[in-house]
Amino acid sequence: MHWFVICLAAYSLGSIPSAYAIGRLFRGIDVRKAGSGNVGFFNSVRTTGFWPGLAVLALDLGKGAAAVFLARAWAPHAVVLAQSLAALAAVIGHDYMLFLGFDGGKGLAVTIAAVSVISPWLGLTLLAAMGVLILVTQDVNTGAGLGVLALPLWAWLLAPPYLWLAVGLALVVGHKHRRDFQAYRNGRRNLRHKEPERA
């Protein structure tokens, strides 16, 4: 029951629809029906403006960090398992939001925050890998998604107890980026944070 409560709390945190709420509050729009339709930072910047988009980023980072901090406080006797479950549940909550009919974002900000709280070095390495891959691919979404796919390698080297978490995050976030990877293979490259339209 203890682990179930941690997962449920983290999932609920992740499910808070930051981009949707900010879009409604500042512009009176549903971000799912504007721009790329993605419920995340990049689409929020494009459809609501820089400052509302920055607020979305801050809230999404906060969701990932809060989930891990709460798990650490609730289960100090098994911190690796607790933090891993909370981080994964928060990302799944963000990607499949209960409050939006299981629609959601792609999990980048929540992943970065959760991983950084668990292991600052792993978080910095993830950010560096994403930055390098964005430059190499010349595509923000593809590069960032590939950066998360490489997370298991960095976890194996820097934080072995969290390897299974890294694999889980790579699978979840990679799945949400599958259209970006396909678009990149089809030659649609850009550096303007443009996400491929949903089918």
Count of CB atoms within 10 A of residue 25's CB?
11
193 sits in the region (left: phi over 0; alpha: psi -120 to 50; else beta) called left
Residue 194 lies in a domain: no
26 alpha carbon, distance to own chain's centre: 23
Distance CA 91, CA 110 (A): 6
pTM: 0.88
Query: What pLDDT score does 188 carry?
Result: 57
Give residues with Cβ within 8 angstroms of 25, minimum separation 6: 52
Question: What is the C-alpha separation between 46 and 34, in angstroms, rounded?
Answer: 9
* Residue 199 falls inside a structural domain: no
CA atoms within 13 A on the CB side of 22: 25
Q: Which two tokens stand for residue 164?
A: 């299974």
Q: What CA–CA distance (Å, rounded) separates 135 from 35?
A: 24
Domain total in the chain:
1
- Mean of per-residue pLDDT scores for the chain: 88
Residue 198 counted as domain residue? no
- Is residue 151 one of the residues assigned to a domain? yes
Q: Supply the pLDDT for residue 1.
A: 55
Query: Cα-atom radius of gyration of the chain, to the nearest Å?
Result: 16
Q: What are the φ and ψ backbone dihedral angles of 103, each rounded to 5 degrees? A: -85, 165
Q: Range of 171's domain?
A: 2-185
Residue 48: predicted pLDDT: 85
Residues of the chain with pLDDT under 70: 1, 188-199
Residue 102 lies in a domain: yes
Task: Tell me the backbone φ, ψ of residue 127, rounded to 5 degrees.
Answer: -60, -40
Instruction: Please indicate, yes or no, if residue 124 is contained in any of the structural domains.
Output: yes
- CA 102-60-18 angle, to 5 degrees, is 60
